[in-house]
Amino acid sequence: MRTTIATALICGAALLTAAAQSPSPSTTDYHYVVPLSLALEAATEAVRVCAQRGYQVTATVVDMDGVSQVELRGDGATIHTSESSFDKAYSVVTLGPIFNFDTSGKFFELVKSNPFAPRLSTMRNVMALPGAVAFKSKGVIVGALGVGGAPGGDKDEVCAQAGVAKISGRLPN
């Protein structure tokens, strides 16, 4: 009898350990990185469009983990534009899927209209200003392009949109 109980306990522990170590069927290990050549092209386009309008900006592409892939500081862009372009893109990638927005302009509107949302903008690397647009694959946010330095986030976001539009049809699935 003791052998049967001991065997049952060992088998049960083995099953629990195996279950804890193996991912559940609903868990995915999906990871997507915008190809470097496309990330560079999108950032270049955003800086170019802003420069045509007289804005000296930095454009930053982050992957779906919020890690910087590309940062281009346009001619004459000041040092703070690097931080703002990254923070805007990071906000879209990390909070957009949770709160259902794909631009930092929509995050800006959420912060203005939701009494609980302003607290989100106080987190490190989060900026609730327009200027970033998501890259999407199969309807999922897989990265973002943030722009900082134009005289107003709405102008930054137009440039970011141009960069995303330049490559959107060529993103691999």
Query: How much is the pLDDT for 29?
Result: 64
Does residue 142 lie within any of the structural domains? yes
Confidence grade of residue 19 (pLDDT, cut at 50, 70, 90)? very low
Domain count, the chain: 1
Between 32 and 156, name the one with better pLDDT.
156
pLDDT in tens, 74-122: 999 999 999 999 999 999 999 999 999 999 999 999 999 999 888 998 9
Does residue 73 lie within any of the structural domains? yes
- Stretch among 109-118, 125-134, 152-161 having the lowest mean pLDDT: 109-118
pTM of the model: 0.82
**Domain range holding 87?**
36-170
Query: How much is the pLDDT for 92?
Result: 98
Does residue 65 lie within any of the structural domains? yes
User: Does residue 7 carry a pLDDT above 90?
Assistant: no
* CATH code, 42: 3.30.450.150
Q: What percent of the chain has a predicted confidence (pLDDT) above 70?
A: 83
Does residue 22 lie within any of the structural domains? no
Phi, psi at residue 54, to the nearest 5°?
90, 15
Between 53 and 14, name the one with better pLDDT.
53
Residue carrying the six token digits 């193996």? 22
Query: How much is the pLDDT for 104?
Result: 98
Query: How much is the pLDDT for 162?
Result: 98
Query: How much is the pLDDT for 28?
Result: 54
Does residue 16 lie within any of the structural domains? no
